[in-house]
Amino acid sequence: MPAFDKDRRILSALIMLSVFVLIDCSSLGVYRNSFRSVPNSQFLDDDILVQTDATFGVTIVGFTDNFEFLYEPSNPLSLKQAAQKQAYRYIINGSYFEGSRVHAGWLSIFGVQEAPIKVDRQLTHMAILDTSMGYLAFPELTLWDSSMTSPKNLEFQTGPLVIYASQIDTLSIQASINGTGAHLRTLLAMTEEDGMFYFIITRKPCGLEELGDHLLSYEIFAGKTLHVMNLDGGSSTALFSQDHPELNFNTERPLPILLGIH
């Protein structure tokens, strides 16, 4: 083989190897960014408590005022767009939606029914926010019917229940579709004694039992009666903060159901 041809083949091989390495590193970068972690920290943002934890990439946003339910199936906004439009300080993705972007299961917003009850082993509970009392409850769907709807309430079907009265709800988790697998998670929680509400997301995939155990270890929940409901997860998991962009996650994807606080 002539030396020139041999050198050309070696050079071509090196170029191909470089391209492969660049592509591989690029894909790894995307993968790592999608599971970007956060450091362990806790701080007050005026009246809002924020805690982050590198384990599962957890961010918890605790607050006492009512949250708002933004439902835009025909013209969904990204978290960043919704926060700018509605002046939300914090906003997360909301409950399950179907292919047509409508809410999966019962949805009633202040007495106006937006979606019917759905029989689904994932959607076993209701999340009910009584805005007049500032009270959040997670009753089983079998213990609730549409005659209980109130014009003062926000009501939506979701699940599974992860923690009930500071105990892991193993039966609900194991009976659900994706409770035991490793997925990104979005959750809604409350503590009875102080009336606090919490938005919770994870940036790393996890099962709901292991996540529940981890949440119960937090000092902020010590001595309180904690209830935690799974809202959604996977690629919909998202959080946006106006003043703390280091917390932001998946803020550009348009989503039809969002929960926000001012």
Terminal alpha carbon distance of the chain: 74
List the structure tokens of 252.
């550009």
pLDDT for the residue 34: 41
CA-wise closest residue to 202 among 168, 178, 233: 233
Contact yes or no for 259/199 (Cβ under 8 A):
yes
Give the span between the Cα atoms of 135 and 196, in whole angstroms. Answer: 9
- How many other CB atoms sit within 10 Å of the CB of residue 36? 10
Could you read off the pLDDT tens digit of each residue along the chain, which spans 262 residues? 444 344 444 334 433 333 333 333 333 333 233 445 577 899 999 999 999 999 999 999 999 999 999 999 999 999 999 999 999 999 999 999 998 899 999 999 999 999 999 999 999 999 999 999 999 999 999 998 888 888 999 999 999 999 999 999 999 999 999 899 999 999 999 999 999 999 999 999 999 999 999 999 999 999 999 999 999 999 999 999 999 999 999 999 999 999 999 9
pLDDT for the residue 224: 97
Which region, left, alpha or beta, applies to residue 57 given φ > 0 means left and ψ of -120 to 50 means alpha? left
pLDDT for the residue 212: 98
pLDDT for the residue 145: 85
pLDDT for the residue 68: 96
Considering just the CA atoms, what is the radius of gyration of the chain in Å? 22
List the structure tokens of 58.
């957890």
Contact yes or no for 186/240 (Cβ under 8 A):
no
DSSP assignments along 134-197, one per residue: TEEE--BGGG--GGG--TTEEEEEE--EEEETTEE-HHHHHHSSSSSS-B-EEEEEEETTTTEE
Is the pTM for the entire model greater than 0.75? yes
List the structure tokens of 251.
């803020």
pLDDT for the residue 10: 39
Give the span between the Cα atoms of 143 and 181, in whole angstroms. Answer: 27
pLDDT for the residue 21: 32
- How many other CB atoms sit within 10 Å of the CB of residue 108? 21
pLDDT for the residue 131: 93
